[in-house]
């Protein structure tokens, strides 16, 4: 009986031990599987690290190869530029030699030479010449970007050759004559033929009142004519920024110096006549713009006279006046302090100040005087509304400052903009810059109509004709070009419709 009971009570214990043994075996199998899976994953991670390191080594090698290729391309570009410049100089010398021998050098475009038999002088500082042949050698030029909605017709009419950089260009009020300024000389040309009419030497003998002598005073100057303009009444006077910081009036008919104005302490960068020809406004590196009385030969007043600024400018650290423009009774000045200021021509009071991000090199009023354009080192041309300024002139005793709104920003130049001007109908605006590009803009639509490349160096000056769609450009390549253009909408373009 006892054995039977023990046997009966032992059966559940054996079953429990059997179940526990089975579970332990299953758990051990699971642990083994996890271990195997972890080892596989660890192996895969190691493989990925090896692949990543290999890819990084390959990438570094490719980056090094690209850098080497870029350096090689830059070296080739510099070598190509040097070779091209050498070839161009050799070609120019050969063409000049062929011309001197009486031959016909090959040109990019054929054009009838002038019938005049006079030859260009290498340097004319003596008596003025009555007639001089224009260029007989064509200059390569090309249209660049064009508005696809506009039909562009452009032509290089004349090329006026100089011995040095052409710093300034200007049409006469009637549009029949052209004035150009270069080193120590100002020349007048015929617009229709490109023939030189006369030339004025701007070399002044002796001392001037500012203390600068012909041999070199306190300031060393390069004697370039940086600005000039015709008299607005009958075009018989030419005002020139001569050496020693002197403004000179030449009588074109008698070919003599009529008057000179002295008062600036640094190079004169800008000149303009008042519309009634009673005043001349000059802008200088000394940070001032002076309004001169033409008849009396004296200063009426100085715009922006600041003793500290003047002393700094004389030391080469000031913010000089680079450009001057006039319309109605308003005078605009552009300066190296990034500002465009508008003044009263009657009282000299400051009426408005606007700014670019960098130095301002050129300002120009439209022919209506309602807008003012400015070109800057920030690569842009801005157009400002000046309509409110005319109303502010009513109270001459205490004129109020007026904010001029920016109505257009023209962007497209790749370098600083050196010169701007409006067309005779104020519809178009021309700009030139250090990127050697000339742009003709529809400023109201803020669209460039076309660009043209015709200078090898900076475009120092651009000037629109007061009577027709022509403009001048003067460059650092010692050339002045006379261009003509016509713009019309294409029939199938949206603007044409």
> Is pLDDT at 321 greater than 90 in this prediction?
yes
Could you tell me the strand order of the sheet in which 268-273 lies?
A: 268-273, 279-284, 289-293, 298-303
Query: Where residue 75 falls among pLDDT bands split at 50, 70, 90?
Result: confident
Rg of the chain over Cα atoms, rounded to whole angstroms, equals: 37
> Is pLDDT at 110 greater than 60 in this prediction?
no
> Is pLDDT at 15 greater than 60 in this prediction?
yes
User: Which is higher by pLDDT, 83 or 114?
Assistant: 83
Give bridge partners of residue 409 from the DSSP assignment. Answer: 382
pLDDT tens string 371-412? 999 999 999 999 999 988 877 776 555 567 888 999 999 999
Cα–Cα dist 30/340, whole Å: 84
Please tell me the predicted confidence (pLDDT) of residue 495: 52
Residue with tokens 């062929």: 98
pLDDT tens string 174-223? 999 999 999 999 999 999 999 999 999 988 765 444 444 433 343 445 68
Cα–Cα dist 428/440, whole Å: 7
Burial 98-115 (b: 16+ CB within 10 A, else e): eeeeeeebeeeeeeeebe
Two tokens at 183? 């080193």
177-182 and 417-422 as β-strands: parallel, antiparallel, unpaired? unpaired
Please give the average per-residue pLDDT across 85-99, as a whole number.
76
CB burial of residue 441 (10 Å; 0-12, 13-18, 19+): buried
Please tell me the predicted confidence (pLDDT) of residue 222: 63
Query: Where residue 315 falls among pLDDT bands split at 50, 70, 90?
Result: very low
Two tokens at 63? 């980056």
Please tell me the predicted confidence (pLDDT) of residue 377: 96
Query: Where residue 113 falls among pLDDT bands split at 50, 70, 90?
Result: very low
> Is pLDDT at 160 greater than 90 in this prediction?
yes
Q: Are 432 and 419 in contact (CB under 8 A)?
A: yes
Q: Are 282 and 261 in contact (CB under 8 A)?
A: yes
Across 79-88, 152-161, 311-320, 486-495, which has the greatest mean pLDDT?
152-161
Q: Are 178 and 168 in contact (CB under 8 A)?
A: no
Please give the average per-residue pLDDT across 340-362, as a whole number.
94
Please tell me the predicted confidence (pLDDT) of residue 8: 52
Q: Which of 131-135, 244-248, 293-297, 341-345 has the lowest mean pLDDT?
A: 131-135
What is the DSSP annotation of 193-229?
Answer: T--EEEEEE----S--TTS--TT--SS----B---EE
Average pLDDT for the chain: 83
pLDDT cut 70: percent of the chain above it: 78
CB atoms within 10 A of CB 317: 9
User: Which is higher by pLDDT, 328 or 484?
Assistant: 484
Please tell me the predicted confidence (pLDDT) of residue 397: 55
Cα–Cα dist 381/375, whole Å: 5
Q: Which of 205-214, 250-259, 432-441, 474-483 has the lowest mean pLDDT?
A: 205-214
């Amino acid at each position: 009986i006892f054995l039977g009971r023990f046997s009966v009570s032992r059966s559940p214990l054996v079953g429990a031990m059997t179940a526990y043994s089975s579970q332990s075996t299953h758990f051990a199998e699971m642990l083994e599987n996890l271990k195997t899976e972890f080892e596989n994953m660890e192996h895969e991670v190691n493989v990925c690290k090896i692949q990543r390191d290999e890819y990084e080594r390959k990438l570094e090698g490719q980056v090094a190869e690209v850098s080497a290729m870029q350096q090689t391309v830059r070296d080739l570009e510099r070598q190509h530029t040097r070779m091209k410049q050498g070839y161009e100089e050799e070609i120019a010398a050969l063409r000049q030699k062929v011309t001197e021998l009486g031959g016909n050098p090959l040109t990019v475009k054929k054009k009838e030479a002038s019938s005049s038999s006079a030859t260009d002088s290498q340097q004319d500082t003596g008596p003025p010449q009555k007639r001089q042949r224009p260029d007989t050698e064509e200059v390569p030029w090309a249209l660049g970007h064009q508005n696809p909605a506009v039909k562009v017709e452009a032509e290089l009419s004349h090329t006026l050759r100089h011995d040095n950089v052409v710093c300034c260009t200007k049409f006469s009020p009637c549009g029949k004559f052209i004035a150009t300024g270069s080193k120590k000389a100002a020349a007048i040309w015929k617009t229709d033929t490109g023939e030189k009419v006369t030339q004025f030497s701007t070399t002044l003998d002796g001392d001037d009142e500012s203390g600068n002598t012909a041999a070199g005073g306190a300031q060393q100057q390069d004697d370039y004519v940086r600005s000039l303009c015709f008299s607005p009444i009958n075009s018989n006077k030419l005002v020139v920024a001569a050496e020693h910081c002197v403004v000179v009036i030449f009588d074109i008919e008698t070919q003599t110096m009529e008057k000179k104005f002295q008062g600036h302490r640094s190079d004169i960068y800008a000149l303009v006549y008042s519309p009634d020809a009673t005043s001349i406004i000059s802008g200088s590196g000394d940070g001032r713009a002076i309004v001169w009385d033409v008849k009396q030969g004296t200063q009426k007043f100085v715009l922006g006279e600041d003793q500290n600024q003047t002393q700094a400018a004389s030391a080469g650290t000031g913010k000089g006046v680079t450009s001057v423009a006039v319309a109605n009774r308003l005078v605009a000045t552009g300066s190296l302090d990034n500002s465009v200021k508008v003044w009263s021509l009657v009282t000299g009071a400051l009426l408005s100040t606007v700014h670019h991000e960098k130095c301002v090199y050129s300002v120009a009023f439209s022919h209506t005087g309602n807008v003012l354009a400015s070109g800057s080192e920030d690569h842009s041309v801005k157009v400002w509304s000046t309509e409110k300024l005319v109303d502010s002139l009513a109270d001459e005793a205490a004129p109020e400052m007026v904010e001029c709104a920016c109505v257009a920003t023209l962007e497209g130049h790749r370098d600083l903009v050196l010169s701007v001007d409006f067309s005779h109908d104020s519809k178009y605006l021309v700009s030139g810059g250090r990127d050697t590009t000339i742009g003709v803009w529809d400023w109201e639509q803020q669209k460039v109509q076309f660009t043209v490349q015709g200078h090898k160096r900076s475009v120092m000056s651009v000037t629109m004709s007061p009577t027709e769609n022509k403009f001048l450009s003067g460059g650092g390549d010692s050339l002045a070009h006379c261009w003509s253009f016509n713009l019309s909408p294409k029939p199938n373009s949206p603007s044409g419709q």
